[in-house]
Amino acid sequence: MAPKIDRRQLRTKRLLRNAMLELIEENGVQGLTVTDIANRADVNRGTFYLHYQDAPDMLQKVQDEVFASVLKAMREIDVVEMMRFSERGEPYPKIIALLEEFSREAYFFRLMIGPHGNSSYIVKFRRVMQEHIAARLAQRQPSDDNMLVPRDYLITFIASANMGIISYWIESGMQQTPREIAVIIMKLVQHGSLAATGLRNRQVTGENQA
C-alpha cells in the first residue's frame, strides 16, 4: 500500500505546484494564497496543509528543490576542464547537463525571471556560481602571477556571462537546445566576446584588401 500512497502524494504535490505556478503567472508572487492554490489544484485546504505551512512556505520549498537539482549539476563543472573542451571545439558535457536542468524547469525559471517573479532567485544562482568558480580556480590556479586580470573580476565576469546567457535563453523561450547553448558558450570561451562579433576578421580582411 505504501507505494500507492507515495504516488498519490507526489501527484497531489504536482497539482499544487502547477497551480501555484499558474497563479504566479497571473497575479505574481505577492498574490499567492492557500485558498487560491487549493482551488486551482482542485484539492481542499487540509490537503494543502499536509504538505506546506502556507503559500510562502510552499514557494520557498519549491525554490529550494529546484535550486538543489541545479546546484548538483553546477558543482560538477570545472572551469579548466571546460577550457580544454573549448580548445578542442567541443561543447562541455557538464555545461550541457546543467542546461538540461534549467530546461526541465523552464516554466518555473521563466516565471522567476519575469515581471511577476522573484529576480533575486537568479541572482542567488549567479552568486553560488561565483563561489564555485572561485573554489575550483583556487585549486587549479592558486597563484595570481600568470593571470591577466584580477581574480575577483575574472570570476565575476565568467559567472555573470554564463548566467546572462542562461537567463536570456530562458526569457526568449528556449528556442535552442541545451547542446546548442553549450556550443555558444564554448565559442565564447574559446574565442572571446570580441572575436565572436566577427569584427576582427573583417578588420584583417580590410587591411589585406588595402
Q: What is the pLDDT of residue 1?
A: 42
Q: Is 158 helix (H, G, I), strand (E, B) or coil?
A: helix
15-38 pLDDT, tens digit per residue, is 999 999 999 999 888 889 999 999
Residue 177 phi/psi, 5-degree rounding, is -75, 165
- pTM for this structure? 0.80
**Strand, helix or coil for residue 50:** coil
Three-state secondary structure call for residue 144? coil
Cα separation, 71 vs 65, in Å, equals 10
Instruction: Give the pLDDT score at 202.
Output: 59
Question: Amino acid identity, residue 44?
Answer: N
Residue 94: the pLDDT is 93
149 and 42 in contact (C-beta within 8 Å)? no
Nearest-CA neighbor of 166 among 64, 69, 96? 96
Helix axes 106-113, 119-140, angle to 10 degrees: 110
Does the domain at residues 1-52 carry the CATH identifier 1.10.10.60? Answer: yes
Low-confidence stretches of the chain (pLDDT beneath 50): 1-2, 204
Cα 162–chain centre separation: 9
